[in-house]
């Protein structure tokens, strides 16, 4: 949500101005810390009292929706007690599309739920629901239109970049934004980075825009994903991102033939990434950092470490584990994890 950040001493003046100009977004609760207050606003504005410092900030994750605008609260009188038990109020937002999960028991009320989401969230233009699970090698998720503008293509904003995509044609997770930022903050000046399974280019664009990497390469099998990645590189006016369409195994063979190596390699494939560890090691030098992703029960996190150990041993590579981090949750006990490890000379 868009907010205006103001020093506490100026809060009252700014508050009055926002109410007078009808800029205050009363759907959300304002927040404060020791020095500043954050007023939720409908849009940015340019005119105000001189000598008052203010700045605009996106704080979607830190502002809470007011009680009267809570989805469950609004639907209390429209759904039965039993139906409310099946209502999932959390949902992903990709661009201006809300992606709901609707239980079978609520199918007859799905249009009502979708229209309510539109009313509560002015930033959402389209509401869809997931149909089944991610399918096939490309992990495509099908969606069904429910309300608002009938479309599946949108432009998503994340970490200072714009990402165009069709949610029915490509795999993309907005939940990985903080993980992409975590890696981006590790990228050093002059690095050559390889992103396997690069999709529509979120990692590539975030690195290309926000880091001092010399070059960022992306490999994607999905032709639709590759097409959108090219668009996104152009959309963000990036000059240091190179995109390749094809199977990682085949593209890496070409890199090996060209004696191309990388300073940092990302493997954001949550299932089956271990099958590509040998490829990553083939284009790594003695100090390369590799980010290996996996989906595992918390009690089984050491399995990821054993996969790395097995591949490095086979390739006769020495390495050290830098860290293991949780970067998502698939189910109550299954987590997406990332193991950052570095090869040693």
pLDDT in tens, 252-269: 999 999 999 999 999 999
Task: Write b or e for each residue in 2-31: b if 16 or more Cβ atoms lie within 10 A of its Cβ, otherwise e.
Answer: bbbbbeeebeeebeebbeeeebbbebbebb
Residue 10 predicted with pLDDT over 80: yes
CB 170 within 8 A of CB 200: yes
Q: Is 191 helix (H, G, I), strand (E, B) or coil?
A: coil
pLDDT bracket for residue 135 (50, 70, 90): confident
Residue 14 phi/psi, 5-degree rounding, is -65, -40
pLDDT bracket for residue 60 (50, 70, 90): low
Q: Domains, the chain, ranges and CATH?
A: 2-58 (3.30.70.2580), 67-151 (3.30.300.110), 171-344 (3.40.50.150)
Q: Note the pLDDT of residue 119.
A: 86
Q: What is the residue-averaged pLDDT of the chain?
A: 91
Lowest mean pLDDT among 33-47, 136-150, 154-168, 227-241: 33-47
What pTM, to 2 d.p., does this model score?
0.79
Q: Note the pLDDT of residue 265.
A: 99
Q: Note the pLDDT of residue 11.
A: 84
Strands 126-135 and 97-100: parallel
Residue 153: partners with Cβ closer than 8 Å, 6 or more residues away: 164, 165, 166, 167
Cβ-based neighbour number of residue 160 at 10 Å: 12
Q: Note the pLDDT of residue 51.
A: 66
Q: Note the pLDDT of residue 49.
A: 60
pLDDT in tens, 63-97: 455 534 588 888 988 999 999 999 999 899 999 99
Q: Please tell me the distance from the alpha carbon of residue 15 to that of residue 281, in angstroms, as a whole number.
A: 57
pLDDT in tens, 266-294: 999 978 999 999 999 999 999 999 999 99
Nearest to 190 by CA among 207, 215, 209: 215
Q: Note the pLDDT of residue 290.
A: 99
Q: Note the pLDDT of residue 27.
A: 67
Q: Note the pLDDT of residue 336.
A: 94
Share above pLDDT 70 across residues of the chain, in percent, rounded to a whole number: 95
Q: Angle 223-235/202-210 helices, nearest 10 degrees?
A: 20
Q: Note the pLDDT of residue 67.
A: 39
């Amino acid at each position: 949500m868009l907010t205006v950040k103001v020093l506490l001493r100026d809060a009252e003046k700014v508050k009055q101005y926002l109410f007078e100009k009808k800029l205050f977004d009363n759907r959300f609760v304002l927040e404060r810390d020791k020095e500043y207050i954050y007023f939720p606003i409908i849009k940015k504005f340019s005119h105000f009292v001189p000598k008052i410092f203010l700045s605009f900030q996106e704080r979607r994750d830190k502002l809470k929706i007011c009680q009267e605008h809570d989805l469950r609260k609004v639907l209390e009188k429209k759904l039965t007690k039993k139906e409310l038990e099946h209502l999932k109020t959390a949902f992903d937002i990709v661009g201006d599309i809300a992606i709901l999960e609707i239980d079978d028991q609520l199918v007859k009320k799905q249009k009502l739920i979708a229209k309510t989401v539109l009313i509560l969230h002015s930033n959402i233009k389209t509401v869809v629901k997931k149909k089944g699970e991610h399918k096939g090698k490309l992990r495509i998720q099908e969606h069904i239109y429910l309300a608002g503008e009938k479309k599946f293509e949108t432009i998503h904003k994340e970490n200072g970049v714009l990402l165009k995509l069709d949610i029915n044609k490509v795999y993309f997770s907005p939940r990985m934004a903080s993980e992409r930022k975590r890696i981006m903050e590790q990228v050093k000046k002059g690095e050559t980075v390889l992103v396997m399974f690069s999709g529509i280019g979120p990692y590539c664009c975030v690195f290309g825009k926000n880091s001092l990497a010399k070059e960022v390469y992306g490999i994607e099998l999905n032709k639709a994903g590759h097409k959108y990645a090219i668009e996104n590189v152009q959309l963000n006016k990036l000059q240091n991102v190179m995109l390749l369409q094809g199977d990682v195994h085949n593209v890496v063979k070409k890199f090996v033939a060209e004696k191309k190596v990388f300073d940092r390699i990302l493997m954001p494939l949550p299932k089956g990434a271990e099958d590509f560890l040998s490829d990553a090691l083939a284009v790594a030098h003695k100090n390369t950092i590799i980010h290996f992703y996996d989906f595992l029960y918390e009690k089984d996190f050491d399995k990821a470490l054993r996969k790395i150990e097995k591949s490095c041993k086979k390739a006769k590579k020495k390495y050290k584990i830098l860290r293991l981090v949780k970067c998502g949750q698939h189910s109550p006990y299954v987590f997406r994890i990332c193991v950052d490890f570095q090869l040693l000379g």
